[in-house]
Structure 1
Amino acid sequence: MISIDTKRLHLRNVLQNDVDVIFDYRNNEICARYQRGQVKDYEGIVSLIERRRNDEISIDFPCMIAVALKDTNEMIGEIVVMPKDHTFSLGYTFSYKYHRQGYAFEALTVLTEHLHKMAPEWEFISFTECENIASIELLKKLGYKNLGYVPSLDSQAFGKWTTMDTEEEFAHLSK
């Protein structure tokens, strides 16, 4: 079971009653324009929640985390954690209704700290589209380093606690 609290937020497992919120922001152009491969149809989201509702934060398996307002438990966004080869890849989407209020920074800060305590030697990588200035600025504020553009992924890569080998690998990929 996932349960991490901040001053304003509760990070928890996704619930079936989150389906309408997820459907709303995943199908809103403000949120959807920078997302790739996300399930957007209602039935698909219901199925996704069913598959992910018992996820645990682990170094062995991916998980989906709902970010909810602490006072109301209303879901306002999601974070996906994908562990592989001593690296956590993080992806996130927050509802357009809650942009520019510090919620993504707050949630990602506490989650990154939690994951770093679990696996202090692991690296953190996130990818974003070059036009997604808000996400780029968020990653910089979180202490991520710009690792360069990766043409094969059509994405800008950012890393935290990365090794020199990883940074050199991304430098090579960005050429």
Structure 2
Amino acid sequence: MEFQISTTRLIIRPFVAEDLPMFTQYRNDPIIAKYQSWTDYSFEQAQSFFAAMDYKAFGQSGLWFQLAIADNQTQLIMGDIAVHFIDDEQMEIGFTLAQQYHRQGIVFEAVSAVINYLFIELKKHRIIAITDAENIPSMGLLNKLGFRKEGHFIKNIFFKGQWGDECAFAMLRDEYISNANSKVEG
């Protein structure tokens, strides 16, 4: 896949083998893993993940793709963005950022660029994001990005030994374009 999104500080791109040690490291951080599906994450799991990722199929309905968030100077990864092509018109995104890069606007910059790509370049209709209802920073980021909260599901997922709540957020392409136009006019 010849795919890359560049921002002021970042490159969002397919994973390369050199990313796997850092990927494994931040996925093993208990603070990062708290709201994620994994608990312990081994280098072998990272290698399997990498081997299974077929970026040539990027955009195919039903598939998930993990994109690295990398520093555009050093190429070192800071986190990743998951992109799920639900069908031809709808997407789901998720994001993970290594703890040392929190509160620097990195994930906002990266996810903003991916949203722009999905809506403007690929002309997708709708993007959703689902987060744990206790993950206040992720919900705050989704609000800041312009997502609307569409639902709060009570004890809908059995997660790490207990029932938990999830919140669903969404944004339509029309809303994104309208919001972008109002920022330009304002």
TM-score (norm 1): 0.85
Higher strand share: 2
Shift of the alpha carbon at 1:17? 1.1
Classify 1:144/1:138 alpha carbon distance in 2 versus 1 (closer, same or farther; 3 Å): same
Preserved contact between residue 146 and residue 156 of structure 1 (Cα < 8 Å): yes
Q: Which runs of 5+ in 1 are unaligned?
A: 164-175
Pair 1:39–1:50, CA change in 2 (3 A): farther
Give the partner amino acid of 2:172: W
The question of whether the paired residues in 2 share the 8 Å contact of 1:59 and 1:119 is answered with no
Q: 1:159 aligns with which of 164, 170, 175?
A: 170
Identify if the C-alpha distance between structure 1 residues 21 and 33 changes in structure 2 by more than 3 Å, giving closer, same or farther. same
Q: 1:53 to 1:9 in 2, by over 3 A?
A: farther
1:90-135 deviation per Cα after TM superposition (whole angstroms, max 9, x unaligned): 0110101101100100000011010012443521110111111110
Alpha-carbon distance in structure 1 between the residues aligned to 2:56 and 2:81 = 12
Cross-structure match for 1:78: 80
Structure 2 unaligned runs (5+)? 158-164, 175-186
> Which residue matches 2:106?
103
Aligned length in residues: 163
Aligned-pair CA distance for 1:18: 1.0
Residue 141 of structure 1: aligned partner: 144
Separation (CA, whole Å) in 1 of partners of 2:41 and 2:143: 29
**Residue pair 2:30, 2:39 contacting (<8 A) in 1 also:** no
Cα distance in 2 for residues equivalent to 1:136 and 1:55: 32
Q: 2:131 aligns with which of 99, 123, 128?
A: 128
Structure 1 residues 11 and 73, CA gap change in structure 2 (3 angstroms): same
User: Considering only aligned residues, what root-mean-square deviation do their CA atoms show, in Å?
Assistant: 2.1
- C-alpha distance 11-22 of structure 1, shift in aligned 2 (>3 A): same
Q: In the alignment, is the contact (CA less than 8 A) between 1:15 and 1:53 conserved in 2?
A: no
Q: Determine what percentage of the aligned residue pairs are the same residue.
A: 30
Deviations 1:119-162 (A, max 9, x none): 43521110111111110110000000011212334311111118
The letter of the residue matching 1:155 is: E
Residue identity matched to 1:73: Q
Query: Counterpart of 1:40 in 2: which secondary structure?
Result: coil
Conservation of the 8 A alpha-carbon contact between 1:23 and 1:41: yes
The answer as to whether partners of 2:124 and 2:173 remain within 8 angstroms in 1 is: no
